[in-house]
């Protein structure tokens, strides 16, 4: 479901949805492929993200280190993201609300662990990066 934008920009709203979905696909692929360089590129250099334990992670390196540790403990799982809502805050800033859940690597069943991260994403030309949010 796509929420109405605060700033309605006609046809751009649908293309913005596409870019938000693309960002989530890149994030999902980076995690599932254990491609930490690609994972880092999804976040701005000064990104601030709070994890499930309330820890504040700042910058690409801390985010990558945290994600690597989490994935290392759960090698049998894949992460799946689905865009739930997109809210445009200004011309280049968006709130992205996604559903995030884990599947068993063989995609037979969900593992029961899911969350709904909320990301603040900034557009830099055609590229989007997460600059703030929460995550598992």
Supply the CATH number for residue 100's domain.
3.10.450.50
- pLDDT over 50 (residue 3): no
Binning pLDDT at 50, 70 and 90, where does residue 109 land? low
Q: 56 in helix, strand or coil?
A: strand
> pLDDT tens digit string along 83-106?
999 998 988 999 999 998 888 777
Tens of pLDDT along 41-91? 999 999 999 988 899 999 999 999 999 988 888 777 888 999 999 998 988
The conformation of residue 4, written as its DSSP 8-state character, comes to: P
Region 100-117: what's the mean pLDDT? Answer: 76
Q: What is each CA distance from 135 to 38, 64, 102, in whole angstroms?
A: 17, 12, 13
Q: How many domains does the chain have?
A: 1
Residue 41 domain-assigned (yes or no): yes
Is residue 112 included in any domain, yes or no? yes
- Pinpoint the alpha helices (H) of 33-85: 36-41, 59-72
Q: Residue 87: give the domain boundaries.
A: 12-134
The average pLDDT across 1-18 equals 55
């Amino acid at each position: 479901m796509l929420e109405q934008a605060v700033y309605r920009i006609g046809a751009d709203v649908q293309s913005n949805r596409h870019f938000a979905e693309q960002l989530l696909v890149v994030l999902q692929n980076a995690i599932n492929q254990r491609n930490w360089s690609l994972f880092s590129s999804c976040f701005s250099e000064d990104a601030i993200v709070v994890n499930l334990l309330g820890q504040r992670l700042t910058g690409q390196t801390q985010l990558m280190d945290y994600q690597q540790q989490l994935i290392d403990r759960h090698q049998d799982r894949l992460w799946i993201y689905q865009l739930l809502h997109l809210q445009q805050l200004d011309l280049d800033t968006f709130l992205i609300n996604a559903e995030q859940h884990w599947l068993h690597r063989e995609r037979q069943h969900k593992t029961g662990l899911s969350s709904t991260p909320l990301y603040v994403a900034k557009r830099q030309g055609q590229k989007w990066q997460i600059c703030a949010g929460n995550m598992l």
